[in-house]
Amino acid sequence: MVEIDVTRAQILIASSLIFFILTLPANSASFDCQKATTQAELTICSSEHLSHLDDMIGEQWQLLDRSSRYFPEIQAEQLKWIDSEERFSDGVSFETQLEYLRFMNAMNNCLFTEYGTTNYFRDCADSVRANEVSACETTDNQSTLSIGICRSAHLKALRTIEAVETELSNSQNSNLWNEYRDSECEWMAAQWQGSISGTIFVTCHIDLTIQRISNIFTESR
């Protein structure tokens, strides 16, 4: 009698899971929700918002230049994000990763031409900041949250480029530079109170990281 009850329970659970999977939106993510099996896949497919963001992340991923010297670092960042336990805490993580990939595509497309030449980093950094980053920040009426997401993603993209260019340049003073940047930005943020201090800190890091990468590019020319 106990075995019959367990079997019926298993059938009910299996039937419920199958019904759940079959009723998920079929085209709502970067993978087929009809074949969703992992907890991560089921979570994405059960949320229209996350499904939409995941689909857009997939589109940006497909646009990446696999031959770019930045691609291995981007791939490592993507895998780190996928393995993050906090990825599903809210949509912020998805939105930040989406903008990160978008900014990386924009920077890579600006820097490296089809003729094998490299444009000035500062020009590309200014262009991406004035266009892609500015457009990102104007969403949601320039709310504190949207600005935070966009600038965090922008900084993440810049740090990806910095890591690759620093390694290629065999720079010997990267640790000293990092210490200077951290202390400078901490001091600037301390001059403000409230949530604005966090924005000041990130913006300072963006400005100094652009300066750092620009110097590396100039030295390597």
Tokens of 132: 């892609």
CA–CA separation, 87 and 73 (whole Å) = 19
Give the mean pLDDT of 196-203: 93
Q: 30 with 106, same domain? A: no
Its pTM stands at 0.80
CA–CA separation, 157 and 17 (whole Å) = 39
- Residue 89 is classified by DSSP as S
Question: Within a 10 A sphere around the Cβ of 97, how many other Cβ atoms?
Answer: 25
Q: 128 with 23, same domain? A: no
Q: 52 with 39, same domain? A: no
Kindly tell me if the per-residue pLDDT of 58 is higher than 90.
yes
Kindly tell me if the per-residue pLDDT of 4 is higher than 90.
no
Range of 184's domain?
48-220
Over the stretch 5-45, which tens digit does the pLDDT of each residue have? 434 433 333 333 333 333 334 434 566 777 777 777 777 88
Count of domains for the chain: 2
Cβ partners under 8 Å of residue 216, min gap 6: 162, 165, 166, 169, 171
Give the mean pLDDT of 168-192: 90
Q: 114 with 5, same domain? A: no
| pLDDT at residue number 31 | 64
Q: 181 with 197, same domain? A: yes
pLDDT band at 190 (very low <50, low <70, confident <90, very high): very high
CA–CA separation, 209 and 178 (whole Å) = 9
Over the stretch 62-111, which tens digit does the pLDDT of each residue have? 999 999 999 999 999 999 998 887 777 778 999 999 999 999 999 999 99
| pLDDT at residue number 30 | 62
